[in-house]
Amino acid sequence: MNRYCLLSLSLFALFTANFSFALAADEPAGVPAEVAQYVSAPAETLNLWPDLPPGGVPEGIGEEKWEPGKETPPIVRVSAVSIPTMAFYPAKNPNGACVVVFPGGGFNILAYNHEGSEIAEWLNSLDVSAVVVKYRVPRREGAPKHWAPLQDAQRAIRLTRAHADEWKIDPHKIGVLGFSAGGRLTVAAALDYNVKTYDPVDDVDKLSARPDYAIPIYPAYLMDDEKNFSADANLSDELHLDANMPPFFFSVANDDANRAAAAARFYIKAKELGVPCELHIPVSGGHGYGIRSDRGVAAQWHRNCENWLRALKFIP
């Protein structure tokens, strides 16, 4: 083979590599075949951003991975997310409500089925549509741990509103729900909806990013020190509660570090502001139970949540 052929092949390889990377941003990835048996398939998956997300893709993140754990059934953990997506799970008989779901994982991985697609299935059983967000992880250096995820959360809420007619959603009945770090993201989305976290990229960004209700389940990072049980411990200075925030539903176990105490402090502040807030603190349960029936009473939070959604008229 002569040097001109080698040069042509090298240029072709470079072109196809760049073209493949462009496709990664242009074509949303579905659920990989190796974990499809553990993750229910959405009706539609969309990339959150028309091009690369704000800030691009940092060096050293690596290739996205979906890995089933050793639990029964396995928890599928997604890592190294650089191209965030939203997966739409439509209700069979939609009542207009839609919940945007943020799986947890310490802002390092996402417990995608356990705190994502399984929650979408429950919501669908209430005739509520769901969107599961595969937001960017792990944490980005030089920025607050939830900053890139908050950009993705705001964009996901706006995109859900943009598809309201097509997806049979009432744009005034869009909520957010998340677990652990995803619970912290839920709180951030509900409190910081007016914070400009990125420059607008299209007309979708003219829509409101304010959720109509928020459901943080065993949320993390509401206090700077989650092991400080003293009475004078305060909520994180990053939390800016005001009378315009949406209604909240919290559920967090008493033995989950200091997270129940943090949620209680949030509840008291919401009460002072006149914002509807419901708080459940089962005596035990720990952390990370989702809605799996073998995890005890704490994992039954969704029964109370259903009643709360009905009481506030978000579902009939």
Render pLDDT for 17-72 as a digit per residue (tens, 0 to 9): 333 333 345 567 678 999 999 999 999 999 999 999 999 998 889 999 999 999 99
Supply the pLDDT for residue 311. 98
The mean pLDDT value of the chain amounts to 91
Segment among 108-117, 222-231, 252-261 with least mean pLDDT: 222-231
Other C-beta atoms closer than 10 Å to the C-beta of 143 total 12
Supply the pLDDT for residue 26. 55
Mean pLDDT of 302-311: 98
84 against 2, higher pLDDT: 84
Supply the pLDDT for residue 25. 54
Supply the pLDDT for residue 230. 74
Alpha carbon distances (Å) from 82 to 128, 137, 138, 250: 29, 7, 9, 30
Report the C-alpha gap between 282 and 253 in whole angstroms. 5
Mean pLDDT of 241-245: 98
Q: Quick check: 136 pLDDT over 80?
A: yes
Supply the pLDDT for residue 22. 38
Mean pLDDT of 279-295: 95
Q: Quick check: 238 pLDDT over 60?
A: yes
230 against 294, higher pLDDT: 294
192 against 13, higher pLDDT: 192
Report the C-alpha gap between 310 and 316 in whole angstroms. 6
Mean pLDDT of 3-11: 40
Q: Do strands 76-79 and 109-111 pair parallel, antiparallel, or not at all (unpaired)? A: antiparallel
Q: Quick check: 15 pLDDT over 70?
A: no
Q: Quick check: 286 pLDDT over 90?
A: yes
Q: How confident is the model at residue 225 (pLDDT cuts 50, 70, 90)?
A: confident
The pTM (predicted TM-score) of the whole model is 0.91
Q: Quick check: 2 pLDDT over 70?
A: no
Supply the pLDDT for residue 60. 87
Q: Quick check: 84 pLDDT over 60?
A: yes
Q: Quick check: 151 pLDDT over 60?
A: yes
Smallest CA-to-CA distance from 219 within 132, 287, 131, 271 is with 287
Q: What is the dihedral of CA 149, 151, 155, 158, to 10 degrees?
A: 110
Q: Quick check: 10 pLDDT over 80?
A: no
Is residue 206 exposed (0-12), middle (13-18) or buried (19+ Cβ within 10 Å)? Answer: exposed
Report the C-alpha gap between 222 and 235 in whole angstroms. 6
pLDDT in tens, 152-206: 999 999 999 999 999 999 999 999 999 999 999 999 999 999 999 999 999 999 9
Cβ distance 185 to 220 under 8 Å?
no
Mean pLDDT of 278-284: 97
Domain 10-311 belongs to what topology? Rossmann fold (3.40.50)
Percent of the chain at pLDDT above 90? 83
Ranges of each domain in the chain: 10-311
